[in-house]
Amino acid sequence: MPKELQIPDRETKLLLDELEKTLDLPGDVVEFGCYEGDTSILLAGVLRDRPDKWLYLYDSFEGLPAKTAEDNSADGWRFKSGELKASPDTVRHKFKKYALPDPVIVKGWFNELGNSDLPSEISFALLDGDFYESIKASFKLVASRMTSGGIIVVHDYRNAELPGAGLAVNEFLEENENDFDFHIAASMAVLVKR
Ligand SMILES: C[S@@+](CC[C@H](N)C(=O)[O-])C[C@H]1O[C@@H](n2cnc3c(N)ncnc32)[C@H](O)[C@@H]1O
């Protein structure tokens, strides 16, 4: 496995623990914001013995979109429009290198995706789009598809450089307080569908 992951090791373990909890639920696994697929291959490794579950990976593959006011932070100078540009082929090659089953890779901006781009049921979702509008758009796509007991993990919930991610989670929880339980794992938000 690659040494340099986008998600630090301790978080990776916590993330994969959450995925393990959902393995016996109906539904597929999605990652919104896969970049070069480093975390995707870890998710795929857990799913290796579960050929009934598909892994869907979404990304613009154009890098980050523009920030909105919600993302502004004195600490956030690193994240600019067009940064983190990757290619679907890089992701595909990584899966081949580790002999993992091919994922479904969907190139597009999250707010332009439609029903046909998503599985009908989702047991586990990783939202890692960094910005307020990106996380909001991801919630909009996954929320109604989550199976009971299914888990949504949002990366960067507690990251001062990316305040929009936390704001999008808090707003979603306010609007859906009867449908999801919530806890924090390292810097990630974990939402469990009731
Ligand atoms: C931090 S990276 C993801 C890292 C990856 N999950 C990992 O751990 O290796 C964020 C990714 O989200 C994508 N992204 C952010 N907002 C997006 C949007 N609104 N639509 C499509 N892709 C988006 C960017 O292109 C970028 O590749």
Pocket of ligand 1 contains residue 138 by CB under 6 Å: no
Which CATH fold would you assign to the domain 9-193? Answer: Rossmann fold (3.40.50)
**Residue 120 DSSP class:** S
Pocket of ligand 1 contains residue 110 by CB under 6 Å: yes
Residue in the structure block whose two tokens are 């810097």: 187
- Is a pLDDT exceeding 60 seen at residue 1? no
Q: Rounded CA gap, 81 and 98, in Å?
A: 31
Look over the chain and give the mean of its residue pLDDT values, rounded to a whole number: 94
| 104 beta partners | 56
How far apart, in Å, are the Cα atoms of 151 and each of 26, 92, 125, 128, 154?
Answer: 12, 25, 6, 14, 10
Check residue 4 and give its pLDDT.
47
| 57 beta partners | 31, 105
Q: For the segment 11-47, what is each residue's pLDDT rounded down to a tens digit?
A: 999 999 999 999 999 999 999 999 999 999 999 999 9
Q: For the segment 133-179, what is each residue's pLDDT rounded down to a tens digit?
A: 999 999 999 999 999 999 999 999 999 999 999 999 999 999 999 99
Question: What is the residue extent of each domain of the chain?
Answer: 9-193
Q: Rounded CA gap, 108 and 61, in Å?
A: 7
Neighbours of 86 (CB within 10 A): 17
| 123, 155 Cβ separation under 8 angstroms | no
Pocket of ligand 1 contains residue 131 by CB under 6 Å: yes
Q: Residue 77 — very low, low, confident or very high, per pLDDT cuts 50/70/90?
A: confident
